[in-house]
Amino acid sequence: MSSTSKLGLSETYGAFINNEFVPVRGPTFAANNSGTGEQLARIAQCGKPEIDAAVLAAQKAFPAWKATQPEERAAMLLQLAAAIEADTPRLMQIDSMDIGRRLFETKLDHTIAVAEYRYFAAAAVVHEGLNRSIPNGYMIARREPYGVCGQIIPWNVPAIMTAHKVAPAVAAGNTVVLKPDENASLSTMELCKHIAKIFPPGVINVVPGFGTEAGAALTSHLGVAKLSFTGSGEVGRAISHAAAERLVPVTLELGGKSPNIIFPDIEDIDAVVDNAMFATTYCNGQSCLAGTRLFVHDAIYKEVMDRLVAGMEERVRVGSPFGDDTILSNLVSEKQGKRVLNYIDIGKAEGARLLTGGSRVDIEGHKAGYFIAPTVFEARNSMRIAQEEIFGPVLSVMRWSNYEEMIAEANGVRYGLAAGLYTSNLRSAWETAERLETGAVWINRYFNLASGSPFGGFKESGYGAELSHATLDLYTHLKSVTIQTRVDPPWFAPKAAGK
C-alpha cells in the first residue's frame, strides 16, 4: 500500500474556498517525500484567480462571522483542536514525510498547535476593550476585527504556523485567506477537511502555490485588510512594502541568529550541554529561533566543549524521520541541503575551526534526502556563519570571559528574535535578560515557550507578537464610542444675555 493510500491523502489538492476544494484545472506541483523522493500528491499551483475567489469568499463571510459571539467562535476553535488531537497520529506522519522531521517532533508540533487553538478559544471570550466614566456618561473603546486577513506561512513547522495565524485571526472575528509554503502544504490541506465540518463557509480559506504567484497576489489584494507573514527577511521586506502601499497593518515574524549563553556558575554541565544540543538541532536546525550561537565562559570552556562534541557525535543520531532512535533527520529539500553545505564551506574558508560534522550523511532508503551531520564550529562572532541565518544543524561557538564584550557580541547581529542563558545566579539571569535585544529570553531551558507567552522579534526579526493575548490586539481595530445621558446646556455659542 502506498503512503498516499495508507494516510488517506488525496491524489490532488485544489484551493480550499468556501469549505470546498476547487477542482484542479491548471498547473500543479508535486508534494514529495523529502527523504525518499516518493510522490505523495499533486497540489494546485494557484495564482491570482484563486486568490481573488478566496478573498471574495472571505469578504462575504465576514459580516456574519464578525457578528458571532466570542463564545460561538471559541466553541468552534475547541472543536477544531479536538479534531486535530484525534487526527495527530496521521497528521504527524504526513508532516514527517513532507518535511523530513522525526515523528517525535511532528507529534509535538501538533500538540503545540492544539494548545494554541484552545488558548485563543479562551482568549476570545475575555478579549475586551476599555471603558471609563465621563461627566454625564461613559467612554467605551470597542475591539473590532479588520476583515479579511491575508496570511503566509513557512515550511518548517506547518502545524504550529497555521495555528499561529488562523487561531487569533478567527478568534478576533476576522476571516482568513492562508497561503501555505509549497514545500509543506500537505498537512494544512488535510486540516481543511476538519475545518469544513466545523466553520461556516468562507471563514477560513487556504490557497496553495508559489510566493511569486499566489503570495504576491494575496499581499497586493485590495480586499485584504490585514497581512501576517512568517519567513525570510527578504520576503518580509517585500510584504512590508506592499502593506505600506495600501496602509494595511502587517505582522512580521522573520529570521533569527539567537545567542545561547553559558555562565561559569552552572551546576549541571551535562544538562546544559543537552539543552544546548537541543537548541541547535531541534527541527533539524531549520528554526528561526534556534540557538545557533553558543557563548561559553572561559572557565568551563574545555569541559563544556568536550561533552558537547562527544554528545553531537555519540548521542545525536542521524537517521530516518521514522527511526525509533533518530534525533536528527533530513532537511526539507535539496535546495536547503545545498544551502547548508555551502555555509559549512564558507565557515571553513573563513578560518572557523570545524570540531565535528560538516558533511552529508547517507541513509539507506532515503537517497533523495539531505541528512547533515550535526556540525560545530569554533568561530568568531564577526564570521558569516555566526551572523547569517543558515537554517540547518550548524552551531558557532564563541569563548567569553568579559561580560560586557559578550553582551555586545550577543547583541551584535541584525536579528533579535530569541536568546537563551544558563546560570544559577539570579542577578546574572535578570540583568542579562534585560540587556539582550531579543523578543524572548529563556533562562535555564531553551525554547520554553508556553501558550500565552508573547513571541515576536526585535530589529530585523520583525514586529508584532504572536501566541499571546496581545496578538488579538493586532487583529482588531480599537474604536472609541462616547455617550452622554443628555445634551449639555449651550456652551459653544450661548445666547447673549437679554436676547
Provide the residue type at 267 as one letter.
E
Q: Which residues are catalytic?
A: 253, 288
Residues 31 and 39: beta-carbon distance below 8 Å:
yes
Measure the CA–CA gap between 446 and 247, rounded to whole angstroms. 37
* Nearest one of 247, 144, 228, 290 to 466, comparing CA atoms: 228
Three-class DSSP category at 140: strand
What sign does the CA torsion over 296, 298, 300, 301 have?
A: positive
Exposure string of 233-252, with b = 16+ CB inside 10 Å and e = fewer, is: bebbebbbebbeeeebebbb
Three-class DSSP category at 64: helix
Three-class DSSP category at 498: coil
> CA 282 from chain center: how many Å?
14
> CA 383 from chain center: how many Å?
27
Measure the CA–CA gap between 326 and 101, rounded to whole angstroms. 10
Residues 417 and 256: beta-carbon distance below 8 Å:
yes
Three-class DSSP category at 315: coil
